[in-house]
C-alpha cells in the first residue's frame, strides 16, 4: 500500500548510537545534552535567532498566544490543520477567519484589514504546505494596527524566503517535527523568535514557569522535548540534503505528468522562495471528481488525503462566516503521496490512474 506519507527512518543502529549517551547518564528528559545539540544544529544550519525544541508542534502555538498576552480576537485562516484554530479557542480567544488566496492557498492579505476591530490582538497565519505567506504585507498591517504576528510554519522546515529562514518572520514562528513531516523527531516541534526577551518568556512557559529549581517566573506548561525525541532528530538531520533532493525530484515528476490537464490546478509557490516540496496538492474541477479519483486510487492500494478538509469555519465549535474560496478548495483538494521512499515509477503510476479517471 502507498499512503500519503511515510516517516523517514534512519538506520536503527544510528539512532541507538546517538541515544546511548543519554542512556548512560540516565538523563532522558529535562533538556538534556541531545536536545541542546539538536537546537544548536537547527539554529546554526538555518541561521535562526532563537529556538526552543518542544514535545509536539501544537503546544508552541498555545505558548505563543500566552507569552504574547493575547486576548479577544485573533485573525486566522480557515484553510489549515485544526490545531491552528483550535489553539486560539483553547486559549479563550476568538478565531476570526479571513478567506484565502485561490493561487497560494494562504490567507488573503487584502482581506485582513476589513476584519480588524478594537478587539483584535493578533494575526495567526499559516504558511500552507510550506508556501510562505505575504509576510512583508502582513508586517505592515500588524505595525499599522499594533498587532502581534504568529506564523504556523508547521510544514516549513528548510524553507527560505528572500534568502533567510521563514522561521525568522513574525513575533513567533512554530514548526512541527511530527513523524509525517520532512524533518521529524517522532513527535516534536519548535518555536522560534528573533526577540530575546520574548524567547525568555517562551522558554519559561514551556518548562512549568521554572526560574531555577525552587522559583517560578509565572504560569507554565510542560512542553519540553525528550532526549529520545532529540536522538531521532539528530539521526535524521544528516540526511536532510538527500531528503530535500528526493522530494524535489518527486514533486517535479508529478507536476510534469499532470500540469497539462486543464481539469487540475496546482498551488502557486511564492516568489523568492527556496521551497522544501513538503506536499503535492492538486485541486480538481469538482468534489465529485476528487471522490472518484480517491475511489480509484484506493482500489489500487493508494491512499491520498483530503488535506485540508473541511474548511475550519465550518467546524462546529469554530463556526464562522462563509469563506467561499477556502470552502471550495477544501472540497476539491487532494494531497498525493510524497515521501522519501516513493519511486518515480510509483509517481508515474499514480499520475496515470488520475489522468485515466478524469479523462
Per residue in 162-205, pLDDT tens? 999 999 999 999 999 999 999 999 999 999 999 999 999 999 99
Q: Check whether 213 has a pLDDT greater than 90.
A: no
- Domain 2-99+106-238 classification at class level: alpha beta
Q: Check whether 211 has a pLDDT greater than 90.
A: no
Per residue in 107-161, pLDDT tens? 999 999 999 999 999 999 999 999 999 999 999 999 999 999 999 999 999 999 9
Q: Give percent of the chain above pLDDT 90.
A: 97
pLDDT tier at 212 (50, 70, 90 boundaries)? confident
Mean predicted confidence (pLDDT) in 29-36: 96
d(CA 284, CA 329): 9
Nearest to 123 by CA among 165, 159, 72: 72
This prediction has a pTM of: 0.97
What pLDDT is stored for residue 294 in this prediction? 98
Q: Check whether 30 has a pLDDT greater than 90.
A: yes
What pLDDT is stored for residue 320 in this prediction? 85
Q: Check whether 215 has a pLDDT greater than 90.
A: no
d(CA 282, CA 254): 10
pLDDT tier at 214 (50, 70, 90 boundaries)? confident
d(CA 227, CA 27): 8
What pLDDT is stored for residue 285 in this prediction? 97
What pLDDT is stored for residue 325 in this prediction? 98
Rounded to the nearest 10 degrees, the angle between the axes of helix 59-67 and helix 82-90 is 40
What pLDDT is stored for residue 182 in this prediction? 97
d(CA 253, CA 318): 38
Whole-number mean pLDDT of the chain? 97
d(CA 343, CA 134): 33
Mean predicted confidence (pLDDT) in 251-280: 97
What are 144's three cell numbers?
499599522
pLDDT tier at 221 (50, 70, 90 boundaries)? very high
Q: Check whether 63 has a pLDDT greater than 90.
A: yes
Q: CA geometry: angle at 82 spanning 91 and 247, to 5°? A: 130
Q: Where are the domains of the chain?
A: 2-99+106-238, 240-358
Determine whether domain 240-358 maps to CATH 3.90.1150.10. Answer: yes
**Strand order of the sheet with strand 333-336?**
264-266, 280-284, 333-336
What are 225's three cell numbers?
522535548
What pLDDT is stored for residue 57 in this prediction? 98
Residue 238, CB half-sphere, CA atoms under 13 Å: how many? Answer: 9
What pLDDT is stored for residue 273 in this prediction? 98
Q: Check whether 255 has a pLDDT greater than 90.
A: yes
Whether the domain at 2-99+106-238 and the domain at 240-358 fall into the same CATH topology: no
Amino acid at each position: 500500500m502507498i499512503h500519503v506519507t511515510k516517516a523517514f527512518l534512519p538506520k536503527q543502529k544510528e539512532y541507538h548510537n546517538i541515544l546511548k549517551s543519554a542512556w548512560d547518564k540516565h538523563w532522558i528528559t529535562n533538556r538534556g545534552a541531545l536536545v541542546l545539540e539538536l537546537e544548536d544544529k537547527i539554529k546554526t544550519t538555518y541561521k535562526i535567532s532563537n529556538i526552543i525544541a518542544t514535545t509536539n508542534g501544537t503546544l508552541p502555538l498555545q505558548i505563543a498566544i500566552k507569552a504574547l498576552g493575547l486576548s479577544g480576537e485573533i485573525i486566522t485562516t480557515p484553510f489549515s490543520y485544526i490545531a491552528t484554530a483550535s489553539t486560539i479557542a483553547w486559549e479563550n480567544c476568538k478565531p476570526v477567519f479571513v478567506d484565502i488566496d485561490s493561487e497560494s492557498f494562504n490567507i488573503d492579505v487584502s482581506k485582513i484589514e476589513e476584519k480588524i476591530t478594537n478587539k483584535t490582538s493578533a494575526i495567526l497565519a499559516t504558511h500552507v504546505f510550506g508556501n510562505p505567506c505575504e509576510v512583508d504585507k502582513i508586517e505592515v498591517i500588524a505595525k499599522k494596527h499594533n498587532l502581534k504576528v504568529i506564523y504556523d510554519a508547521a510544514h516549513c522546515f528548510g524553507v527560505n524566503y528572500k534568502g533567510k529562514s521563514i522561521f525568522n518572520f513574525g513575533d513567533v514562528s512554530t514548526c512541527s517535527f511530527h513523524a509525517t513531516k520532512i524533518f521529524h523527531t517522532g513527535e516534536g516541534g519548535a518555536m522560534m523568535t528573533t526577540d530575546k526577551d520574548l524567547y525568555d518568556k517562551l522558554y519559561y512557559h514551556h518548562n512549568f514557569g521554572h526560574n531555577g529549581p525552587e522559583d517560578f517566573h509565572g504560569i507554565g506548561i510542560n512542553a519540553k522535548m525528550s532526549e529520545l525525541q532529540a536522538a531521532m532528530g539528530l539521526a535524521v538531520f544528516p540526511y536532510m540534503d538527500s531528503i530535500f533532493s528526493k522530494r524535489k525530484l518527486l514533486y517535479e515528476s508529478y507536476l510534469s505528468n499532470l500540469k497539462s490537464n486543464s481539469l487540475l490546478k496546482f498551488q502557486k509557490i511564492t516568489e523568492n522562495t527556496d521551497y522544501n516540496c513538503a506536499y503535492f496538492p492538486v485541486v480538481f474541477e469538482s468534489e465529485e471528481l476528487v471522490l472518484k479519483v480517491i475511489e480509484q486510487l484506493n482500489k489500487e492500494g493508494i491512499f491520498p488525503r483530503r488535506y485540508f478538509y473541511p474548511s475550519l469555519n465550518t467546524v462546529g465549535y469554530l463556526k464562522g462566516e462563509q469563506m467561499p474560496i477556502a470552502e471550495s478548495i477544501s472540497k476539491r483538494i487532494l494531497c498525493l503521496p510524497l515521501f522519501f521512499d516513493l519511486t518515480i515509477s510509483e509517481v508515474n503510476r499514480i499520475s496515470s490512474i488520475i489522468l485515466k479517471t478524469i479523462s
